[in-house]
Each structure stands twice: as C-alpha cells, then as structure tokens.
C-alpha cells in the first residue's frame, strides 16, 4: 500500500489524475475502471484540462464503470451513465463504443451481472481501477458484510446509502433501492487500484479501513491485501493516520 498525502481537494485531484494519465500514456489502449460520486469529479476535470492542452489521448482507452442503479434509464440525470458522460466522456476523445457500464434497464439481474463480468473478461481485465470510499467503508456498492469472493452482482442498498444519495433526487422515494456493482473479487483483480479520499468526514473510515483489521464489515479493508494499491488523500482525510 502506498499513501500519497495531498494538501487539499484540488491537490488530491491533481495527484490522482497524474497516476491515471501516466497509465494512459504508458499504455494507450489501457482499460480504466471508473467511479462516480463527488470525490472523483475534480480528478476528471483535471484529466479534461490536460486533454484540452494536448497532453492526453483517450482514443484507444476502454472504460468499465463500477456500478449503475438498477431500473434507471441512461437518460435519467441521476444515472451513472449520464454522470460519466457529463463529467468526462463528452469532453475527451474517447471512442464511445469502448465505454462500458452495467445496464440498469435490464431487470434480469442474473443475466446482466453475467454479461458485465464477460465484458470485463473480454477486454482483458482492468489495468487501473479508480475508487472512492463510503462513510461505512463501502467501495462501489459493496456494502458492509459483502462477500469478498463476489463478481458483479445486484445489491439492495442500505438505508445509509439511500439517505446519502437522496440529495441527488427530488425525494427519498425516487432513490433507487438496488444497484448493479462490480464485486470485490473483480476490484481486487485489477492490476492497480487507486482510491481517492477527501474531507474530515472520511478520516475515521480511512483509518479503520487501512489501519484496522481486514473484514467484510469494512469492505475497503481488503485493499490492504492488494499488491498495487495507492491511496491519495487530502490532509483532512488522512488526519487520523
């Protein structure tokens, strides 16, 4: 495990983008595993900035996203398909045929999870997986208690996750109750894992996940066992370690 300390959110975003851009430059046809949520947005903005300056070329990159709400169509502004296009894909020269996310409109969970595992296998696996971390230690939608050996699966979202996501919807009743997510097994098979953490509210879970016992009750703790794991955090997020 490598820990990179950043001054603040902007510095964290730049340092994380540096690692991703190095991956793209060293292997132009790499497979990037991407995450949604507030924390990676600054990283995506930095990547777009470097692309606009001519420093990055995404034309051969393939992407696979961590997760998607079950039941939301792509055009819904709260879908992760929409988020990724709004925050990254529409602003760089990525080949849209190389973009992959779980299909939230396929309500046959077994079929969709099997399809997505096959997509990841068919592109040769993930070279670099970007992650955020939830306040309870979840990564993707792998909630506390998730089995470490799972591939892509359908999860029932916890009340805490539903509460955390309600700010994005008109009411809590509109928040999806299920999602498709890469499993921890899939995440651990990525050749490199990069996790970004920002803010004082993440300090206790960062300490618990990366300096406490490895346990399914703190899903991110398994990353202690990954052979090439990098944590990039700002001073507030790393304040307890």
Name the catalytic one among 103, 138, 153, 234: 138
Sheet architecture: strand order including 178-181:
67-69, 178-181, 153-156
Name the catalytic one among 68, 103, 143, 236: 143
* Residue 165, C-beta contacts closer than 8 angstroms, at least 6 positions apart: 157, 175
Determine how many CB atoms are found less than 10 A away from the CB of residue 235: 15
Distance between CA atoms of residues 87 and 94, nearest Å? 13
Distance of CA 52 to the CA centre of its chain: 23
Whether 118 sits among the annotated catalytic residues: the reply is no
Whether 173 sits among the annotated catalytic residues: the reply is no
Name the catalytic one among 68, 127, 136, 236: 136
Whether 163 sits among the annotated catalytic residues: the reply is no
- Written as six digits, the tokens of 221 are 């703790």
By the 10 Å C-beta count (0-12 exposed, 13-18 middle, 19+ buried), 68 is classed as buried
Q: Look up tokens 């670099």; give the residue.
A: 128
Whether 108 sits among the annotated catalytic residues: the reply is no
The catalytic residue positions are 67, 136, 138, 143
């Amino acid at each position: 495990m490598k820990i990179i300390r950043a001054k603040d959110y902007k510095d964290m975003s730049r340092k994380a983008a540096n690692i991703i851009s190095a991956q793209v430059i060293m292997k132009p046809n790499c497979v990037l595993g991407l995450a949604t949520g507030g924390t990676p947005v600054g990283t995506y903005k930095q990547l777009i900035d470097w692309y606009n300056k001519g420093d990055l070329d995404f034309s051969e990159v393939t992407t696979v996203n961590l997760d998607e709400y079950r039941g939301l169509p792509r055009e819904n502004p709260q879908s992760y398909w929409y988020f990724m296009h709004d925050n990254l894909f529409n602003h760089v020269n990525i080949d849209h045929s190389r973009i992959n996310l779980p299909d939230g409109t396929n309500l046959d969970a077994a079929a969709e999870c099997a399809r997505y595992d096959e997509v990841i296998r068919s592109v040769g696996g993930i070279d670099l997986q970007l992650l955020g971390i939830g306040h309870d230690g979840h990564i993707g939608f792998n909630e506390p208690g998730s089995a470490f050996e799972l591939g892509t699966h359908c999860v029932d979202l916890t009340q805490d996750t539903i509460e955390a996501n309600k700010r994005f919807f008109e009411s809590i009743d509109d928040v999806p109750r299920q999602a498709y997510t890469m499993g921890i097994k899939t995440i651990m098979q990525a050749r490199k894992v990069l996790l970004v953490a920002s803010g004082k509210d993440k300090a206790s879970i960062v300490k618990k996940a990366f300096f406490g016992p490895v346990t399914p009750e703190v899903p991110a703790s398994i990353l202690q066992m990954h052979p090439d794991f990098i944590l990039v955090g700002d001073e507030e997020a790393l304040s307890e370690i």
